[in-house]
Amino acid sequence: MASDMTLYWGAGSGPCWRAMICLEEKGLSDYNSKLISFDNKEHKSDEVLKINPRGQMPTFKHGNAIVNESFAICLYLENTFKGQGAKLLPDDPVQQALVLQRAVESQNIREKAAFGVLSYFFRTKPEDRTEAMLEEKKKTCHEELQIWEGYLAKLGDGSYIAGKNFTLADACTFPFIATLVRMGFNMSRYPHLAKYYDLVKDRPCVKASWPPHWKDTLNKDVLKDI
Amino acid sequence: MASDMTLYWGAGSGPCWRAMICLEEKGLSDYNSKLISFDNKEHKSDEVLKINPRGQMPTFKHGNAIVNESFAICLYLENTFKGQGAKLLPDDPVQQALVLQRAVESQNIREKAAFGVLSYFFRTKPEDRTEAMLEEKKKTCHEELQIWEGYLAKLGDGSYIAGKNFTLADACTFPFIATLVRMGFNMSRYPHLAKYYDLVKDRPCVKASWPPHWKDTLNKDVLKDI
């Protein structure tokens, strides 16, 4: 029973999706789900600001426990519901180290794709953009993805992002990979990331939390030459 | 015994300091400490790149476990040495939620101070800087610090950053607060942050890991009007 849990979230937000995946994996899918409209500025409502002074998504409450940072929500759910649902953080120190490392490190994908190329493309006025700067940002994003391509190559076919099981590292990383795909990045250049995407995209926890508007609108092609 | 642990670190780096504080708190102060010279590009040496493909500090190895992201190192040490030294992550869900939230959220201080004002001041060519942009970055930094001032005001005098005990949240937040002080920010405008700084600065784990060159060089005054 997760009737004392509320997640405020925005559609298509990678950080929100991380939390939603963990809620599903821990068997807490009956949480109160409040989809927030950014257009209507609902993330800056009194209801949200009372528990999240930055007015950002996700915002999460479980009884009197409040956690808003996406990775902190994932850790909180794993620690609080240790014996329930999937085990998302292995006990073995070497494996745990890898899961924690990849989970935090995945923020780099977001920074270099979402805050790098995508923000430059969508949020910088065309007259302020230069082709050279766009190319530089694409190159930085490509170099980041090559690091992950290397990680997966080393782990071997059929691996999750930190080994043979689905973990917190996947909950944290997959939403950012799926965002790249949504934005049309050329997966044929990253065969290991492509296989990883295929492995995870149909997992029940991921399907259950897939961004609703992605299902019936076309992918974009901003990242097609990355 | 921490003879099978190696931390590569840079002097004055907030993320490195986080890891060093946790190592001290967990009674692991005899780890192998490798001070890296950024000037000599030692962070891009083969020795480092072999375990940290981004060549960033900190870089941490414990036997075969490798963790490089600072918060991941802190979590790894707390989980792996649970019964040893200070307890840095409370079991109580409400308290744990707060500790995890503040630990991750502290990255905002770094982003708005180090990557905001300080980077603009030190790394942007004077001819590319504008007074208006500098003021905007200072304002953003001030607003962030006001959030933390509010958190501490609510907790009451003598509190650590997430309650009455020193936790992972302090290990993660204090280095960024101390960096603000090092850069001369006006603590008299933030009485709760000033008390917090005084509470933590003389803690043995913090003194033992204080950036060496800070001890015998003067503070700067870049942030004096924030």
B134 or B174, which is more confident: B174
What radius of gyration, in Å, describes the C-alpha atoms of chain A? 18
For range A92-109, the mean pLDDT = 97
B176 or B216, which is more confident: B176
Provide, rounded to the nearest whole percent, the portion of chain A with pLDDT above 90: 81
Q: What is the C-alpha separation between A20 and B125, in angstroms, rounded?
A: 43
Contacts of A100 in chain B (CB under 8 A): 67, 69, 72, 75-76
Provide, rounded to the nearest whole percent, the portion of chain B with pLDDT above 90: 81
Within a domain: residue A64?
yes
Within a domain: residue B225?
no
Within a domain: residue B221?
no
| Helix orientation angle between A191-201 and A131-155, rounded to the nearest 10 degrees | 70
Q: What is the C-alpha separation between B224 and A48, in angstroms, rounded?
A: 33
Q: Does A154 touch chain B (CB under 8 A)?
A: no
Nearest to A72 among B62, B76, B104 (CB): B104
Do B100 and B66 fall into the same domain?
Answer: no
Q: Would you say B89 and B78 are in contact if contact means Cβ atoms under 8 Å apart?
A: yes
Do A182 and A208 fall into the same domain?
Answer: yes
The whole-number pLDDT of residue B119 equals 85
B52: left (phi over 0), alpha (psi -120 to 50) or beta: beta
> Any idea what the Cα angle at residue A104 is, between residues A99 and A108, rounded to 5°?
125
| Domain containing residue B29: CATH number | 3.40.30.10
Nearest to B80 among A54, A93, A98 (CB): A93
Give the closest-approach CA distance of A93 to chain B in angstroms.
Answer: 7
Residue A100 to residue B54, Cβ atoms within 8 A: no
Give the amino acid at A125. K
Taking the CB of residue A126, how many other CB atoms lie within 10 A of it? 6
Do A127 and A210 fall into the same domain?
Answer: yes
Is the pLDDT at B24 greater than 90? The verdict is yes
Do B159 and B49 fall into the same domain?
Answer: no
Q: What is the C-alpha separation between B7 and B23, in angstroms, rounded?
A: 10
Interface test with A, best of B7, B49, B69, B73 (most A CBs within 10 A): B69
Give the closest-approach CA distance of A182 to chain B in angstroms.
Answer: 26
Query: Measured between alpha carbons, how far apart are the two ends of chain B, in Å?
Result: 43
Within a domain: residue B53?
yes
Q: Would you say B184 and B220 are in contact if contact means Cβ atoms under 8 Å apart?
A: yes
Residue B93 to residue A105, Cβ atoms within 8 A: no
Q: Which of B80, B102, B132 is the last residue in one of the domains?
A: B80
Q: What is the C-alpha separation between A143 and A137, in angstroms, rounded?
A: 10
Is the pLDDT at B185 greater than 80? The verdict is yes
Q: Would you say A101 and B69 are in contact if contact means Cβ atoms under 8 Å apart?
A: yes
Question: Sign of torsion, CA B65 B68 B72 B76?
Answer: positive
Contacts of A76 in chain B (CB under 8 A): 93, 96-97, 100
Do A67 and A109 fall into the same domain?
Answer: no
Enclosing domain of residue A52: 5-80
The whole-number pLDDT of residue A223 equals 85
Do A68 and A106 fall into the same domain?
Answer: no
Within a domain: residue B107?
yes
Q: What is the C-alpha separation between A143 and A113, in angstroms, rounded?
A: 11
Helix (H, G, I), strand (E, B) or coil at A32: strand
Q: pLDDT confidence of B1, banded at 50, 70, 90?
A: low
Per-residue pLDDT tens digits for A128-187: 889 898 899 999 999 999 999 999 999 999 999 999 999 999 999 999 999 999 999 889
Q: What is the C-alpha separation between B190 and B100, in angstroms, rounded?
A: 24
Longest dimension (CA), chain A: 55
Q: Does B136 touch chain A (CB under 8 A)?
A: no
The whole-number pLDDT of residue A96 equals 98
Q: Which of A15, A46, A80 is the last residue in one of the domains?
A: A80
Contacts of B94 in chain A (CB under 8 A): 63-65
CA distances from A111 to A120, B71, B208 (A): 12, 17, 33
Do B156 and B55 fall into the same domain?
Answer: no
| Domain containing residue B154: CATH number | 1.20.1050.10
Residue of B nearest to A96 (CA): B76
Within a domain: residue A202?
yes
Contacts of A63 in chain B (CB under 8 A): 93-94
- A223, B56, B21, B161 alpha-carbon torsion, rounded to 10°: -30
A122: left (phi over 0), alpha (psi -120 to 50) or beta: alpha
Q: What is the C-alpha separation between A86 and A159, in angstroms, rounded?
A: 17
Do B29 and B98 fall into the same domain?
Answer: no
Do B164 and B199 fall into the same domain?
Answer: yes
Contacts of B108 in chain A (CB under 8 A): 54
Residue A38 sits at φ, ψ, to 5 deg, of -65, -35
Do A23 and A66 fall into the same domain?
Answer: yes
Contacts of B88 in chain A (CB under 8 A): none
Is the pLDDT at B128 greater than 90? The verdict is no
The whole-number pLDDT of residue A1 equals 67
Q: pLDDT confidence of A117, banded at 50, 70, 90?
A: confident
Residue A93 to residue B62, Cβ atoms within 8 A: yes
Residue B93 to residue A65, Cβ atoms within 8 A: yes
The whole-number pLDDT of residue A18 equals 98
Do B44 and B101 fall into the same domain?
Answer: no
Interface test with A, best of B6, B49, B79, B99 (most A CBs within 10 A): B79
The whole-number pLDDT of residue B204 equals 97
Residue A101 to residue B69, Cβ atoms within 8 A: yes
Q: What share of chain B is helix, strand, coil (3-state, %, to 5)?
A: 55, 10, 35
Within a domain: residue A226?
no
* Alpha helices, H only, chain A: 14-25, 46-49, 70-80, 93-105, 107-112, 119-123, 131-155, 168-182, 191-201, 204-208, 212-215
Within a domain: residue A211?
yes
Q: What is the C-alpha separation between B111 and B106, in angstroms, rounded?
A: 9
Q: Which of A55, A80, A105 is the last residue in one of the domains?
A: A80
Instruction: Give the total number of structural domains in chain A.
Output: 2
Question: Out of A37-41, B78-82, B202-206, which region has the weakest mean confidence (pLDDT)?
Answer: A37-41
Interface test with A, best of B101, B108, B112, B154 (most A CBs within 10 A): B101
Do A106 and A193 fall into the same domain?
Answer: yes
For chains A and B, CB pairs below 8 A equal: 84
The whole-number pLDDT of residue B193 equals 97
Question: Out of A22-31, A116-125, A195-204, which region has the weakest mean confidence (pLDDT)?
Answer: A116-125
Per-residue pLDDT tens digits for A25-51: 999 999 999 999 999 999 999 999 999
For range B67-90, the mean pLDDT = 97
For range A110-130, the mean pLDDT = 87
